[in-house]
Structure 1
């Protein structure tokens, strides 16, 4: 993919890596890159509907995604096709790496959901994280990942969550 779309809007390929292999790759519109934080907008990249029980991701949903080069997480604001805010899906990741028109993000299994009302805050996939073996293979990364999840939850519950995205 080229760095620019036909309209001249900068594009970025997001490559989500999990356990050493590419889990998903999708294109997004680059909104900003200040050297530390990268923001992009992308349509729901999953196939069909993904129903978590507490939220549904579906064709037409739009994700405004924020990645940091110095933080162990990514935050994705999720809106429906009509623009209604569904909430924020947060992935615990290693710090993002950008090379040209490609952004590589390593998923570390832990996730956090914060609903649009700010009241529904859920830690997700802690069982997958425990089973990943990261605590044994890379204890420093495992500690950083756990601390990132704690930080995200604290920000979500304290109402300071969206200040990171301004």
Structure 2
């Protein structure tokens, strides 16, 4: 693994990014949050089904005589257009989120490496009888021994698990 040249962002940069994210949330204020149960109940349009929906929406207009009178063709076309627009946005957000996640993981990895090196030095200092090393070791040990939950190694949360409200 290589280490990219990463450094913390300034407070001003972080504030600016947060403001841009809030602006994006404001522009997408019409978006909704579904419960897991609601998600299960909805048809899913994916790459396998999108051509069906596109063809059906196109043909609705040409064959409106076979549709019930209450059917709103424009509404179906608007839903398809919104789906396509949001899919475009989702792809861009996922690319950005992947980069943020990967950079965060790498930064955390390097911070953990440095912390473990320090912890090992504290253990050696304690073993050598260095004054204060025992209390420092006890402080760090309680956090170090926490570890990580089983099965969590390299598990990336999905956008559904990290839903932004």
Same fold per superposition (TM over 0.5):
no
Between structures 1 and 2, the one with greater helix share: 2
- Which is greater in Rg? 2
Query: What is the TM-score normalised by the length of structure 2?
Result: 0.26
Query: What is the TM-score normalised by the length of structure 1?
Result: 0.26
Report which structure shows greater RCO (CA 8 Å, sep ≥6): 2
